Amino acid sequence: MATITSSSRRYGPVAVFFHWASAALFLALATLGQIYATIPRETRSFWLNVHALFGLIFLALVIARLTWRLGHAPPTKPGEVNGLVRIASSVVHWAMYILMIFTPVIGVIAFIWHGRVLELGIVQIDFGIQSTRAIYHSAQNLHGWLVYVLLCLAIGHTLIAIHYYLFGRRDVLSSMAPWIRAA
C-alpha cells in the first residue's frame, strides 16, 4: 500500500511534490527576475504582475511545505554520514526554508512600497501606498541579494546530492527523486 509520508529511506510523494514544485517555481521566478530588464517596457507591468502573483503562490507553497515538514520527519540519513555533515545539512536546509519565506516577503514589501497595483485579470488590488523610494530600493536590493544567496545554497544542495549519488552510494538523490535508482 502506498503511503504519503516518508519511509526510512525515501521521502513520501507529498514531500517530493513540495520539493520539486517549489524548486521549479523558484527557478522560474529567478529567471524572470533576471531577464526583467530586457523585457520591452510596454509589457514589463504585465510580467512584474506575473512575477508577483507567482511569488505569492511560491510563498504559499513554501508555507505548506514547511507545515508538512514540521509534521513529517524526513528519512534518516545513512550511518556513514558523519555528525558534521549531518549538522551542515540541517543548517543549510533550514537556511533555505528561512530564505524561501523571507525572499518573497521582501519582494512583496518592494512591490507595495513602489506604489504598484497588483493586477489579477479583472481584479485589481491597490494597496493605497504611495511610492517611497528609500523603502522600495532597499527592499528591492535586499530581495535580489536574498535570491542570489538562496540560488547559491540550492546549487550547493544539488551538487552535494549529485556527489553523494555518484561517489558515496548513499541514496541521497534517489530519496527525493524516486525516478532515479539508488546506487
**Per-residue confidence in pLDDT tens, the chain, 183 aa:** 455 655 667 888 999 999 999 999 999 999 999 999 899 999 998 999 999 999 999 999 999 999 999 998 887 766 666 778 778 888 999 999 999 999 999 999 999 999 888 887 788 888 888 888 899 999 999 999 999 999 999 999 999 888 888 887 667 777 788 777 665
pLDDT of residue 97: 95
Question: Could you tell me the fold of the domain covering 13-176?
Answer: Fumarate Reductase Cytochrome B subunit (1.20.950)
pTM of the model: 0.87
pLDDT at residue 107 in the model: 95
How is residue 157 written as a grid cell?
Answer: 544542495
**In the chain, domain spans:** 13-176
Residue 62: the pLDDT is: 97
